[in-house]
A and B are shown apart, each in its own frame.
Chain A
Amino acid sequence: DTGVSQDPRHKITKRGQNVTFRCDPISEHNRLYWYRQTLGQGPEFLTYFQNEAQLEKSRLLSDRFSAERPKGSFSTLEIQRTEQGDSAMYLCASSPTGDTQYFGPGTRLTVL
């Protein structure tokens, strides 16, 4: 257990539905990252927060994706109008400095 928690661990949804995932980082970490991992691949960077500010977004993050970290603590990742191609493991990581990132257990999304 790294101290980073994610909820839910698994989500099954139908195409077109909206889903929201939550990440609770290690409390003293001001940096928070979201990654996406598909089967047989390494994680791919989605977005980065320093405190409550979203400072970088990947081109992978289409208009249907939005992430927030309203009080600089927990973060949410919402996917609107889900597509089958969104099926993946969504990973959250936190870090005090950026050099060392601690990953949560991930949320496995399946879009039917």
Chain B
Amino acid sequence: TQLLEQSPQFLSIQEGENLTVYCNSSSVFSSLQWYRQEPGEGPVLLVTVVTGGEVKKLKRLTFQFGDARKDSSLHITAAQPGDTGLYLCAGGPRGSSNTGKLIFGQGTTLQVKP
């Protein structure tokens, strides 16, 4: 069974601080996606990374896919209260290219205090 483990599970920081969330697996994934979810809502896609070693930037967010396509990280620079939410990584496991089903990590709850 392919699993994705996220760390940390909870993060509470002050506005302006930097943070990194990690998503790790012992399995290779064909792609990894990062979502942000607010309470009572569905996940909203932030980015998809598909190539080992790939780095993508989205304003203050930087996403990296590991060279071996087993891990990924999300770095937020100068966090703002609006960044508060649940961050989820999700992978398309190898062999799932026909279905596209996703395996999710358990999520990282981020609280940014003003």
Q: Which residues of A contact B (CB under 8 A)?
A: 2, 4, 6, 31, 33, 35, 40-45, 48, 50, 55-56, 91, 93, 95, 97-106, 108
Task: Report the minimal beta-carbon distance from A67 to chain B, rounded to whole angstroms.
Answer: 14
A103–B100 Cα distance when bound, in Å, is 14
Verify B41–A105 contact, CB threshold 8 A: yes
A6-B42, A100-B33 known; 20 new pairs, CB 8 Å cut-off, are A2-B44, A35-B104, A42-B4, A42-B90, A45-B101, A55-B98, A91-B43, A93-B42, A95-B100, A98-B97, A98-B99, A98-B100, A100-B45, A100-B48, A101-B33, A101-B102, A102-B45, A103-B44, A105-B40, A106-B40
Verify A33–B50 contact, CB threshold 8 A: no
A106, closest chain B residue (CB)? B42
Q: 0/1 per residue, B35-61, Cβ < 8 Å to A? A: 100001111110010100000000000
Verify A2–B106 contact, CB threshold 8 A: no
Find B41's partner among A42, A48, A97, A106 (CB 8 Å cutoff): A106
Find B40's partner among A6, A101, A108 (CB 8 Å cutoff): A108
Task: Report the minimal beta-carbon distance from B81 to chain A, rounded to whole angstroms.
Answer: 22
Given contacts A98-B92, A99-B31, is CB(A45)–CB(B43) below 8 Å? no
Q: Is B76 an interface residue (CB 8 A)?
A: no
A4, closest chain B residue (CB)? B42
Task: Report the minimal beta-carbon distance from A4 to chain B, rounded to whole angstroms.
Answer: 8
Task: Report the minimal beta-carbon distance from A10 to chain B, rounded to whole angstroms.
Answer: 9
A100–B101 Cα distance when bound, in Å, is 10
Chain B residue contacts of A101, Cβ below 8 A = 33, 45, 100, 102
Interface centre among B43, B92, B98 (most CB of A within 10 A): B43
